[in-house]
Structure 1
């Protein structure tokens, strides 16, 4: 019986078909994971109600490097959301693969090593946007305003809790 199922699954793969129960967790345009994090490349970006220029602009993102989460793709458009869960559709040319995070805790201390007792290198205010570097299971290396260090991943928005980065 197992051999029959393996044969059926291999035939589906060969034919390019998928089972209806298999969830698609990659974008249909880029084949990249969904959801995924990116940042704003532009200083301003229109957020539209739908994926085209004919759709109404609901608001404008006005912060370069702001981290966003892509939740859907349609042609040259990406549906994004910010840390408050607000979002809409933006043109892909306004987005960058450069990873950034927003500090979620006021006076978040950065450490010289990924250890709660390591020396403090800086303290960042809530809302600071920082460049994301390496991430382990619990800590990420970030930099902002000439300061850098390790911060607890749980205090950052723009990185998944299960994400590891080299």
Structure 2
């Protein structure tokens, strides 16, 4: 009888350990969701307004640290609180912005030096245009290495590695 009780306890303990390990693994794989929107954090958005105050905290009573002054600039949302979103730019600088100043429309910032915009997502494809560093482009489809962009009336593909505003592993269709 004692051996049977010991076996039952060991089996139950082993089952608990396996369940705990599975829960931890699942938690590590699941994206963090924002408490207000239930959208993934971090995520990319763009600046809807041509000017937006960046505050030290999530309310109008918090001090304005600076002002973003570039419409469609890509930003990364890293936290949410009520109607406020904590964002960072490509330099990691940021603060709290009211959600009405942000858009879900995706844009990217070209960081590469004179980046060719190609007609297909291939290194040897013909060029449509050349994008200078700092150009903001509307983001379209992305595969593992290339993203389709629209900028200045031109449309084409650029390597994902020279863009800020899209995650390395992100696929868009």
Task: Name stretches of at least 5 consecutive residues in structure 1 with no aligned partner.
Answer: 10-17
Return the TM-score normalized by structure 2: 0.84
Residue in 2 that maps onto 1:96: 103
Pairwise CA RMSD: 2.2
- Separation in 2, partners of 1:162, 1:25: 16
Q: Which has the higher helix share?
A: 2
How far is 1:4 from its partner? Answer: 5.0
Residue in 1 that maps onto 2:79: 72
Three-state SS of the structure 2 residue aligned to 1:162 is coil
Q: How does 1:35-46 map to 2 (within 5 A)?
A: 35-46=42-53
Residue in 2 that maps onto 1:128: 135
Q: Which residue, out of 19, 29, 32, partners 1:25?
A: 32
Runs of 4+ in 1 over 6 A off after TM superposition: none
Residue in 1 that maps onto 2:68: 61
Q: Which structure has the bigger radius of gyration?
A: 2
- Separation in 1, partners of 2:134, 2:92: 15
- Separation in 1, partners of 2:27, 2:153: 45
Return the TM-score normalized by structure 1: 0.88
Q: Which residue, out of 107, 114, 137, partners 2:114?
A: 107
